Amino acid sequence: MAITESTWTPSSWRELPAGQQPEWPDPAALAAVRERLRGLPPLVFAGEARALLAALGEVCEGRAFLLQAGDCVESFRDVSAPAIREKLKVLLQMSAVLTYGATLPVVKVGRIAGQFAKPRSERTEVVDGIELLSFRGHVVHSDEPTPEARVPDPERLVQGYYQAASTLNLLRAFTKGGFADLTLVHTWNREFVAASPAGQRYEALASEIGRALRFMEAIGIDLAREPTLHEVDVWTSHEGLLLEYEEALTRTDSLTGQPYDCSAHMLWIGERTRDLAEAHVEFFFGVLNPIGVKLGPAATPEDAVALGERLNPHRVPGRLTFIARMGAERVRETLPPLLEAVRDAEIPVVWACDPMHANLVRMPTGTKTRRFDSIMTELQGFFAAHREVGTWPGGVHIEFTGEDVTECLGGSEAVLEEQLDHRYETLCDPRLNGRQSLDLAFRVAELMRAV
Ligand code: PEP
Ligand code: CO
């Protein structure tokens, strides 16, 4: 029997099949970890999740744009101040480009401070001739290619909680403590980015923003007293994959008496776990955070409407974001029927484009990569589909890093095939580097201006 709002509890998902869960070897150890996590403070406050819901409501109604971006999977080895700062700089740069280019507010959501777990298509992988459990993220096990290292260890759930807490702490400090001040817009451009065409274009834009600020000052606006110039909201999100963890971080909000998953502001359900009859949809049905759902090329209009009815029965703008990841070749044919069906069912959703996950290619060497051109083709197709149907292209969802990596091919200062192995560092999917991300932002701003 389907769980209803009155029968839902944080653990009612256990009655249903849950896909993509690690094979935890010791149930007693897992139960002990769950109890410890239950006793720890929430990472975010329900009131913040409501503020993000309101901001996404603006996106839903065509008055703002969503930028959701960050790592494919965060590494436990890489929770350092520079790594967090560099990611934030790229996010702020992209957001400045989009805000200025499209003259719309940009809602900034990181794939950060908890993006530690991965779904995998195959249960096992073969490395150097040894068959191992596929790597599912540091919150489950180590990436070392040995059978022992790949045994899921529930202690890592606790470690994930603390890593998320320290990342979030620094993110809050940077975004509220002066680093994200718009008057510092020039300083977010890093050397390896600044020299590129996108970096130079950014310099020019930063100068224009500077002039606009000086103009406001000249006509008597006291910029020091405008909090929106000096602080930004960067919200956190991750794929809500490990239901043991999400359940343990779910708390009843003392103000409203409603359940919120306090591991992040926004959680999304992946392409592989969005089955209506399974545990993930049931779990996220019951929490009041903004929720995302990935929709791949196999999603039918009926699937989209049924997910919309289930996850947003009260039709709250901002509650539900559909993150379409159709593939450059398929987006023009697969997306419009979904847009039409959801519009006709009168379910308010934010439509975001993930141009990364259906555009993965494997090189003859075995390296996984993505072509910047395919990413742009999918984005263009996403905007064209919305233009055709008359719906709002609400946002983009991308995987990037602040570092000068060579994981995706192309861009205006192109990464070439023979350069792929120079700095290929990702633990999972290939990410855009800082330059490519900025390049993408300029091109998306142009697409937005044409809406
Ligand atoms: C991801 O966002 O990293 C991911 C695995 O996506 P999807 O569920 O769309 O495959
Ligand atoms: Co990914």
Ligand 2 midpoint to CA 323 (Å): 13
Cα(431) to ligand 1 centroid in Å equals 13
Q: Ligand 1 atom 1: the closest Cα is on which residue?
A: 72
Query: Is residue 206 domain-resident?
Result: yes
DSSP element (H, E) containing 237: strand 234-239
Q: How far is the C-alpha of 254 from the C-alpha of 451, rounded, in Å?
A: 42
For residue 20, is it within any domain? yes
- Residue whose C-alpha is closest to residue 284's, from 256, 324, 242, 323: 242
pLDDT at 89: 94
pTM above 0.95, yes or no: yes
Low-confidence ranges of the chain (pLDDT < 70): 1-2
pLDDT at 346: 98
Per the domain annotation, does 2 fall within a domain? Answer: no
Query: 91-129: per-residue pLDDT in tens?
Result: 999 999 999 988 999 999 999 999 999 999 999 999 989
Q: What is the DSSP annotation of 277-310?
A: TSHHHHHHHHS-S-EEEEE-TT--HHHHHHHHHH
Where b means 16+ CB within 10 Å and e means fewer, 282-291 reads bbbbbbbbbb
What domain range is 307 assigned to? 12-449
Count of structural domains, the chain: 1
Identify whether 91 is part of a domain. Answer: yes
Within a domain: 6: no
What pLDDT, on the 0 to 100 scale, is given for residue 2?
Answer: 66
Q: What is the pLDDT of residue 192?
A: 77
Determine the atom of ligand 1 nearest the C-alpha atom of 118: 5
Nearest one of 86, 108, 96 to 191, comparing CA atoms: 86
Predicted confidence at residue 6, as pLDDT, reads 83
Using CB distances shorter than 6 Å, the residues near ligand 1 are 72, 119, 239, 270-272, 294, 325, 357
pLDDT tens sequence across 23-58: 999 999 999 999 999 999 999 999 999 999 999 999
Can you give the pLDDT at residue 193? 82
- Is residue 314 assigned to a domain? yes
CB 125 within 8 A of CB 134: yes
* From 122, 272, 326, 330, mutation site for ligand 1 pocket: most ligand atoms within 8 A of C-beta: 272
Nearest alpha carbon, ligand 1 atom 4: 270
Written as six digits, the tokens of 205 are 């834009």
| CATH number of the CATH domain containing 394 | 3.20.20.70
Write phi, then psi, for 116 (nearest 5 degrees): -115, -10
In a domain, 115, yes or no: yes
Judge whether 165 lies within some domain: yes
Q: Are 202 and 438 in contact (CB under 8 A)?
A: yes
Ligand nearest, relative to CA of residue 429: 2
Ligand 1 atom 9: residue of nearest CA: 271
Q: Which residues contact 36 (CB under 8 A, 6 or more apart)?
A: 158
